[in-house]
Amino acid sequence: MKVHQFDVVVVGAGGAGLMAGLYASRSAKTAVISKLYPTRSHTGAAQGGIGAALGNMEEDRVEWHTYDTVKGSDYLGDQDAIAFMCEQAPEIVYELEHMGLPFNRTPEGRIAQRPFGGHTNNETGKPVRRACYAADRTGHMILQTLYQQCVKNNVTFFDEFQVIDLILSNGAAAGVVALELATGELHVFHAKAVVFATGGYGRVWEITTNAYANTGDGIAIALRRGIPAEDMEFFQFHPTGIYRMGILITEGVRGEGGVLINDKGERFMDRYAPHVKDLASRDVVSRAMYLEMREGRGIGGKRYLYLDVRPETVNKYAAIDGRTNPDGTPYTVTAEQILAKLPDIIDFCRTYLGVDPVTQPMPVQPTAHYAMGGIPTNIYGEVVIDEKNTVMPGMYAAGECACVSVHGANRLGTNSLLDIVVFGKQAGIRAAEFANGADFQPLPDDALDYTRSQLDGLRHGSGKENAFTIATELKTVMFDHVGVFRTEEGMSQALEKIRELKERFKDVRVSDTGKVFNTELLNAWEVSNLLDIAEVTTACALNRKESRGAHAHEDYPKRDDENWLKHTLVWQRDGKLEIGYKPVTITRFQPKERVY
């Protein structure tokens, strides 16, 4: 065992972790620990853009961004936090540009912006160009730029170290335990402040945009150490994943004028969202697609629809919608422009489908994408552990693993990249400030015990069960019953199945007994996280007897503000789940019916 001491330890090296690491390291001795090489993080898969009311293409206002986000959240987002994020947005996008991020440019040389779902001019109700983009690889550019800045500033990294446990001492964060993949050795990182930036958990579902690495590790670790999770029932299904594979096709395709088409050749979104149509919020579009498929209007009766961005289709519907360029001329596109703005999407479709989006429509289906819920925090990234928002000293979280809550029941596209940089920065600054005014908590003598017992369990099970099989069964049941539409019956069945799988998981034994790069051990441990996260998600979803945002409960199809305008908190206590609530912060915008 090795022991390290740092003022601040950041876990995770995607956008939030790198931003936290970059800021914390300016004034405190900081380490960034990541299970992957930082540039492998899933931030790099984000495509379409980062939201900020720069107004580079047309009039836009921070207040409109704020209102759109509140509305997108189906009024479950905390309005003080949302206002803070949207106010910070222009400044932080400029900061990224100053770090060298290669945004696309307008003819005037300014950062180019494109329309995205749910982002509107609040006066006309029409889509507004707010997503600042770098082709269709904005996340890649953010990840690369932040990593480059970390190299420039000599940030200390521990690459390919899997954090297994959080060390608490006197009710405060005291460090983490990590497994070094290359050697199998356990390391204790003793720290004054810990920042979790561990990302999401889309791998709970069968069809997902998420990377293999997105197994909810940070949230699962926090739950095991008594920290609650917030709003776990809200998980976003992105409308356009590549059929059967789930690979993300950016909403930017619809931003550039692409439309969804059913088996009858109808552009059906005008029936579900008459004002913004294909650029409605993701929850609305995913539900519309399910309803179309349920009515037998999937392509060939199957479980997919077409996303059509062929220039003739784009131009036809742009004319019908009366869409114009910033200078007022009618909006039209050519095949070359589509190629230039969406090169990666075209590459994905050619590679995985043998389809060329410039001449053929793309087969798509909703795909598990993004966790609105997570470790509860305030706007400073401080982890809050109860109904009264009591801060746990020294503990921070940011990015997808955290729930501030700025996304409420449904996140708007482009707000996740914004979230990671805004709150990653806050968490980094605050963690360093805290560390500079605090002493180390004493390390408990048994700091390694819980890690060892978890790993030993996986090494010494009866061997009757296979972790890979258990994970596969879990993903199927979650996709079938805790997906876009949910019923009491389906979710109850799912919960029963998850608990059966958790029992069976005790009989898993990994066959690799080695120390060097034991990814079998690691993957099995990740499955334990998926099981815990799935259980919490399903229990919270069963508990919420209304429909709001991404949680579409068919037995309770209406939003119920009287009883359910509140955040869910869930604790794992002695193997049982306890559910509590805390109020939503409402400032300027009173809840009203959500129409797109």
Partner 1 sequence: MQVTLKIFRFNPEKDRKFHYETYTLEAEPTERVLDLLERVKGYHDGTFTFRRSCAHGVCGSDAMRINGRNRLACKTLVQDVGERITIEPLLGLRVIKDLVVDMEPFFENYRKVLPYFINESPLPEDGRERLQSPEERARFDDTTKCILCAACTTSCPSFWASDDYLGPAALVAAHRFIFDSRDEAAAQRLQIVAETSGLARCHTVFNCTMACPREIQITKAIGELKMATITGKLD
Q: Where along the sequence are the contacts to partner 1 (CB under 8 A)?
A: 36-37, 39-42, 44-45, 54, 91, 94, 97-100, 102-111, 134-135, 137, 140-141, 144-145, 148-149, 151-152, 182, 211-213, 245, 247-248, 344, 347-348, 351-352, 466, 468-469, 510-512, 514-520, 523
Shortest distance, position 457 Cβ to partner 1, whole Å: 16
DSSP per position, 196-221: E-----GGGSSSBSS-TT-S-HHHHH
Which residue, 202 or 413, is less far from partner 1 as judged by CB?
202
Which residue, 390 or 469, is less far from partner 1 as judged by CB?
469
Shortest distance, position 165 Cβ to partner 1, whole Å: 22
Shortest distance, position 235 Cβ to partner 1, whole Å: 19
Which residue, 27 or 523, is less far from partner 1 as judged by CB?
523
Cis before 405? omega within 30? yes
Shortest distance, position 411 Cβ to partner 1, whole Å: 20
Shortest distance, position 451 Cβ to partner 1, whole Å: 21
Say how far apart CA 236 and CA 399 lie, in whole Å: 15
* Catalytic residue selected from 282, 310, 544, 594: 282
Asked if residue 276 lies in contact with residue 328, where contact means CB atoms within 8 angstroms, the answer is no
Which residue, 64 or 157, is less far from partner 1 as judged by CB?
157
Say how far apart CA 67 and CA 64 lie, in whole Å: 5
Task: Note the helical H segments in 380-513.
Answer: 415-436, 449-460, 467-481, 488-505
* Cα 149-422-85 angle, rounded to 5 deg: 155
Shortest distance, position 94 Cβ to partner 1, whole Å: 6
Asked if residue 404 lies in contact with residue 377, where contact means CB atoms within 8 angstroms, the answer is yes
Which residue, 40 or 275, is less far from partner 1 as judged by CB?
40
The continuous run of DSSP H or E covering 240 comes out as: strand 235-242
Which residue, 141 or 448, is less far from partner 1 as judged by CB?
141
Residue 98, number of CB atoms within 10 A of its CB:
8
| Length of the chain counted residue by residue | 596
Which residue, 215 or 451, is less far from partner 1 as judged by CB?
215
Residue 160, number of CB atoms within 10 A of its CB:
17
Phi, psi torsion values for 129, nearest 5 degrees:
-80, 100
CA-only gyration radius of the chain, Å = 23
Burial of 351 (0-12, 13-18, 19+ CB in 10 A): exposed
**Does residue 225 carry a catalytic annotation?**
no
Asked if residue 88 lies in contact with residue 422, where contact means CB atoms within 8 angstroms, the answer is yes
Burial of 119 (0-12, 13-18, 19+ CB in 10 A): buried
Asked if residue 342 lies in contact with residue 253, where contact means CB atoms within 8 angstroms, the answer is yes
Say how far apart CA 372 and CA 77 lie, in whole Å: 10
Which residue, 519 or 587, is less far from partner 1 as judged by CB?
519
Shortest distance, position 90 Cβ to partner 1, whole Å: 8
Shortest distance, position 88 Cβ to partner 1, whole Å: 13
Residue of 536, 535, 545 whose CA lies nearest to 570: 536
The continuous run of DSSP H or E covering 180 comes out as: strand 172-180
- Active-site residues, by number, are 282
